[in-house]
Structure 1
Amino acid sequence: MKKIVYGLFFGDSITYGEYDGVFGGWVDILKRYALQKFHEGNGDELILFNLGIGGETTEGLLKRMPVELAARNCADGNLVFISYGANDLAIKDGAYIVEPEKFKENIKIAVQHAKQFSKDIYLVSILPIAQKIDGVVVGSGKLRTNEEVIVYNQILKDIAVENSLSYIDFYNAILDDKEILLSEDGVHPNEKGYGIMAEIAIPIIEKYL
């Protein structure tokens, strides 16, 4: 009997695929890949849900996560991807939108929610930001720095180790070429950046196909 497995991608606009008018972002690339493999008759069916919401922080995640998980609980198994931090670490009006300690606490709670539905949980790194907006207040009033990206990514890595979870390191995959892999706003990837993210993630989902 073939199994049906659900993959739930929780995240912000980078999960949603904003600024990619070509492929729709890395999660949508994975969705098409999984569907293609299924139609080729290879293995189990993996249905992926893009649950990214632009501008969302871990505070918003915790409000909706239990409901989203319960609504998409598959008897054969679930994969859960948690991809947050780019909005949490932003500073607005002199204060973090979500302070590092609170971010850590929120991610830990999110992991506990996920564990009720899945043994396969992936924490996804925050991407580097472009040089031109590093430490600069942008039109939205938010200020981001690459120093903070490193701090928040370390929190994610530590939680992954503590809970024996997988950590997907998009940060280092993008870092060296970030100026050509990020879109004009300096935060979101462009289609090339999203393509690289998908290439890294495809071997992960192939284990379930």
Structure 2
Amino acid sequence: MIYGLFFGDSITYGEYDGVFGGWVDILKRYALQKYNEGSTNELILFNLGIGGETSEGLVKRIPHEMKARNSADGNIVFIGYGANDLAVKDENQMIDAEQFKANIETAIQHAKLYSNEIYLVSILPISEKIDSKISTTGKIRTNEDVLVYNQILKDIATENALSYIDFHSAFLEDKEILLSKDGVHPNEKGYGMMAEIAIPIIEKYL
């Protein structure tokens, strides 16, 4: 029995998807279906996404979460952060780029105690409608910052020989169709596309 642990914010959690419950929930159902159809391994997926969380929260909880959900048969870890870290509120970035890099690297060190299978998940592009504008929560996000933080994730993945899941590129062209009304979270179509991209990854463990 292999465990898949998905750490992240509201996009990992699946917010704004009233149809499928988000990309991780789609993967959960897929893994269960494959097991019922006779796949070799039972893959149990845990959605550990928390709305509004930054990489600061991840660093605090990952040692405990990993310890509590550690399978003797192996663990797969997905880390998807940055959309909240890069947001600017009251003229301050929630978590600046340097600290973001340090936090993700710390989290990876914790994850490596339990797993060699670690995936970094890219930040999604944001809608042009909200780029550089103050949201209802008082936060400003820019696509420019998204590129900077995604580059940090790519570099960390390369340096640590980890896999990088590039949802950003997949969304870029049709983002206005794949994002929900708030311009940050995917809609059900967007979450469906994320799951399609991620299914071949989890297939390897089934």
Relative to the length of structure 1, the TM-score reads 0.98
Q: 1:108 maps to which residue?
A: 105
Deviations along 1:14-46, one digit per CA (max 9) or x if unpaired, are 000000000000000000000000000111000
Inter-partner Cα distance in structure 1 for 2:58 and 2:39: 34
Q: 2:128 maps to which residue?
A: 131
Would you say 1:208 and 2:198 are equivalent positions?
A: no
Deviations along 1:41-93, one digit per CA (max 9) or x if unpaired, are 11100000000000000001111110000000000000000000000000000
Aligned residues: percent identity? 75
Would you say 1:121 and 2:102 are equivalent positions?
A: no
| Number of aligned residues | 206
Would you say 1:50 and 2:47 are equivalent positions?
A: yes
Alignment of 1:32-47 (within 5 A): 32-47=29-44
Inter-partner Cα distance in structure 2 for 1:99 and 1:48: 31
Inter-partner Cα distance in structure 2 for 1:67 and 1:138: 33
Q: Which amino acid aligns with 2:131?
A: D
Q: 1:175 maps to which residue?
A: 172
Instruction: Classify the secondary structure of the residue corresponding to 1:47.
Output: strand
Inter-partner Cα distance in structure 2 for 1:140 and 1:120: 35
Runs of 4+ in 1 over 6 A off after TM superposition: none
Inter-partner Cα distance in structure 2 for 1:64 and 1:110: 9
Counterpart of 1:12 (choices 9, 15, 18) is 9
Q: 2:196 maps to which residue?
A: 199
Would you say 1:68 and 2:57 are equivalent positions?
A: no
Q: How large is the Cα RMSD of the aligned pairs? A: 0.3
Unmatched segments (≥5 aa) in structure 2: none
Inter-partner Cα distance in structure 2 for 1:180 and 1:60: 31
Inter-partner Cα distance in structure 2 for 1:60 and 1:77: 24
Inter-partner Cα distance in structure 2 for 1:139 and 1:188: 14
Inter-partner Cα distance in structure 2 for 1:77 and 1:181: 33
Q: 2:56 maps to which residue?
A: 59
Deviations along 1:162-198, one digit per CA (max 9) or x if unpaired, are 0000000000001100001000000000000000000
Q: 1:97 maps to which residue?
A: 94
Unmatched segments (≥5 aa) in structure 1: none
Instruction: Classify the secondary structure of the residue corresponding to 2:129.
Output: helix
Inter-partner Cα distance in structure 1 for 2:43 and 2:153: 26
Would you say 1:152 and 2:153 are equivalent positions?
A: no
Instruction: Classify the secondary structure of the residue corresponding to 1:131.
Output: coil
